[in-house]
């Protein structure tokens, strides 16, 4: 998902952090932690939890949650690896099934748990194609045909979570032929940008955005976000963006305790809180991902418009671990 993960649409991007309120009752915090009044959660820029969602955690433990963001998922993980064993925070949010092997090789996390799932998929503007009397593409094969030349924008696979997931989708679809497909995609005037925010809010022509390209790598949960972030959500009966289900790559996102944290007990409690129903039910309309807690209910607008492919593209974790760096080197030589 996150998912990576997906935030403000229609030109409204909520960056930064959201933390709980301070509590004077520090007695609830587990003994032995170095700074029991605060626990630091490291995350990517698009981690925008619901306002006040950590207040209950503070009330229960006496520890304020400090959220520190620092770029896209790949950038955050790179920074965390540089300080592995002596971390700048206590909990890391944003490792997913495409980057987990990297975190494991660096011995980055003391422990980790899946916190959400979602699909990275090609989105299209219904309005753009309808106005021109054209049909949108139906799969990855279509994207390299002359009919769709110059219409797609994607993200850098090296530093962007959805960009990496899209690369993995091509490997899952084409196997050893993925490089040939990417060369054809480049020849078909695909545009590669640094991150999701640039792709969606600058280059994409759908969802009320000012761009010129009607196809974008985004998420299966992008359509409900259009409604939630509309100036008048009650006036929007249907999102402009559609999802090409056959292009969807399944992401599982993790949160974990950083190895070497000075606050291991409270860090573990925060991970448990992220898995509990209160936080899990807040995620669909704040982080636009599917909760992993089976007891968490989905909001109506999310249940109606978010897409979770029934047959998503996937890759075995062992294949990703063994080949990820090589795939990225080869992709960079083709696309950048």
* Residue 22 or 199, more confident: 199
pLDDT per residue as tens digits for the range 40-84: 999 998 899 999 999 999 999 999 999 999 888 888 999 999 999
pLDDT per residue as tens digits for the range 166-206: 999 999 999 999 999 999 999 999 999 999 999 999 999 99
Which of 246, 231, 249, 225 lies closest to 305 in space, CA to CA? Answer: 225
CA distance 201 to 124: 14
Q: Which residues contact 294 (CB under 8 A, 6 or more apart)?
A: none
pLDDT per residue as tens digits for the range 214-223: 999 999 999 9
Burial class (CB within 10 angstroms; exposed 0-12, middle 13-18, buried 19+) of 85: exposed
DSSP 96-111: ETTTHHHHHHTT-EEE
DSSP 262-331: S-HHHHHHHHHHHHSHHHHHHSTTTT--EES-TTPPPPHHHHHH----SS-B---HHHHHHHHHHHHHHH
Q: Residue 95's beta-bridge partner residues?
A: 254
């Amino acid at each position: 998902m996150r998912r990576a993960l997906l935030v403000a649409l229609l030109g409204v991007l909520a960056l930064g952090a959201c933390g709980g309120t301070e509590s004077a009752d520090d007695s609830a915090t587990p003994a032995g932690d170095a700074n029991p009044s605060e626990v630091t959660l490291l995350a990517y820029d698009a981690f925008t939890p619901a306002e006040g969602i950590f207040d209950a955690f503070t009330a229960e433990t006496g520890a304020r949650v400090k959220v520190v963001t620092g770029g896209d998922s790949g950038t955050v993980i790179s920074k965390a690896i540089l300080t592995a064993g002596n971390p700048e925070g206590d909990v890391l949010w944003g490792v997913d099934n495409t980057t987990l092997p990297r975190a494991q090789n660096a011995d980055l996390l003391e422990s980790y748990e899946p916190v959400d799932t979602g699909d990275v998929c090609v989105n299209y503007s219904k309005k753009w194609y309808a106005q021109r009397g054209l049909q949108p593409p139906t799969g990855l094969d279509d994207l390299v045909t002359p009919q769709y030349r110059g219409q797609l924008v994607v993200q850098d696979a090296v530093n962007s979570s959805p960009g990496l997931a899209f690369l993995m989708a091509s490997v899952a679809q084409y196997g050893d032929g993925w490089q040939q497909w990417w060369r054809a995609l480049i020849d078909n005037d695909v545009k590669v940008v640094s991150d999701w925010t640039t792709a969606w809010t600058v280059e994409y022509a759908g969802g009320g955005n000012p761009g010129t390209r009607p196809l974008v790598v985004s998420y299966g949960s992008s359509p409900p976000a259009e409604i939630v972030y509309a100036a008048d959500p009650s006036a929007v009966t249907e999102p402009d963006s559609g999802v090409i289900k056959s292009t969807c790559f399944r992401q599982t996102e993790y949160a974990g305790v950083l190895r070497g944290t000075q606050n291991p007990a409270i860090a573990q409690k925060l991970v448990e809180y992220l898995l509990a129903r209160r936080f899990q039910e807040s995620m669909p309309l704040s982080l636009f991902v599917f909760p992993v807690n089976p007891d968490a209910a989905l909001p109506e607008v999310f249940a109606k418009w978010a897409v979770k492919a029934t047959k998503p593209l996937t890759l075995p974790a062992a294949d990703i671990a063994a080949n990820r760096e090589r795939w990225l080197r080869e992709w960079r030589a083709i696309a950048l």
